[in-house]
């Protein structure tokens, strides 16, 4: 994957040049790419995901994309739900998340293929959005737990997948049952890498698992953590592909 940057006025775009460039290297994106109203006006919004950011599923031709704007939560959102302090382009949340996702994708880890990140600077603040390829037919682990469709084999596979990311050094600061997706082939994927980072192993790994366990409790599925932990610690020969 080859990442490149492009500027259109106040908007800075980091994108996958291998999939978004013509032969003349001109990117097939622009400010409209990050504008939900543009996609709605052209009738290419295929759906909407739940959550604070109100992500949109977009009809992008061969694939569907997920357009996720960055949104603040908690008390700070009362001041500004969409603006973040500008400390440099490469330090924006969107650029950092896209570069991290691209790195993990290049290593063969199950993350969505990154498409582009857009950052609009407004003086000392900025707004941002991220686009990734939608995983076809995927549902959140939370949904499968609620419906009783998550069997022990699947949960052990989830644990194995989390272990793969930990072995790669990914500290996922919001590891929960909504950020683990299961596709039609019962393969697990990890999404939402905002504020995540690569780091040497340490106590953060146990912290990630504890956060996941708290998430399962919210969905009345605390016992699922037993199978997830078994998958996390089991040898790779006992896991799904």
The reply to whether 186 belongs to the active site is no
Neighbour-count burial of 233, counting CB atoms closer than 10 A to its CB (0-12 exposed, 13-18 middle, 19+ buried): exposed
Phi/psi of residue 41, each to 5°?
-65, -30
The catalytically annotated residue of 174, 185, 186, 194 is 174
Lookup: tokens for 75: 């008390």
Please give the Cα distance from 238 to 225 (Å, whole number).
Answer: 18
Count of beta carbons in the 10 Å neighbourhood of residue 41: 11
User: 117, 13 in Cβ contact below 8 A?
Assistant: yes
Does an H or E element contain 189, and which?
strand 188-190
Count of beta carbons in the 10 Å neighbourhood of residue 5: 14
Lookup: tokens for 130: 């991220």
The alpha carbon torsion through 25, 28, 32, 35 (nearest 10 deg) reads -110
User: 27, 92 in Cβ contact below 8 A?
Assistant: no
Only one residue has tokens 């996720």, namely 68
Tell me, what DSSP letter sits at residue 70? -
Active site residues: 174
């Amino acid at each position: 994957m080859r990442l490149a940057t492009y500027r259109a006025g106040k908007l800075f775009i980091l994108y996958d040049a291998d999939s978004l460039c013509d032969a003349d290297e001109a990117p097939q994106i622009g400010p409209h790419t990050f504008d939900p109203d543009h996609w709605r006006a052209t009738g290419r919004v295929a759906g909407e995901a739940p959550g604070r950011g109100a992500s949109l599923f977009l009809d992008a031709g061969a694939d569907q994309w997920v357009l996720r704007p960055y949104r603040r939560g908690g008390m700070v959102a009362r001041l500004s739900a969409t603006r973040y302090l500008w400390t440099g382009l490469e330090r924006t949340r969107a650029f950092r998340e896209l570069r991290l996702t691209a790195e993990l994708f290049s290593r063969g880890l199950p993350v969505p293929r990154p498409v582009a990140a857009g950052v609009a600077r407004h003086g000392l603040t900025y707004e941002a959005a991220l686009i990734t390829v939608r995983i076809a037919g995927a549902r959140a682990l939370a949904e499968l737990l609620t419906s009783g469709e998550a069997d022990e084999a699947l949960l052990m596979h989830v644990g194995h997948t989390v272990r793969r990311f930990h072995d790669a050094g990914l500290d996922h600061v919001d590891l929960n049952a909504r950020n683990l997706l299961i596709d039609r082939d019962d393969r697990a994927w990890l999404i939402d890498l905002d504020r995540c980072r690569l780091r040497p192993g340490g106590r953060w790994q146990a912290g990630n698992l504890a956060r996941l366990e708290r998430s399962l409790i919210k969905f009345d599925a605390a016992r699922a953590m037993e199978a997830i932990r078994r998958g996390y610690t089991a040898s790779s020969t006992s896991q799904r592909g």
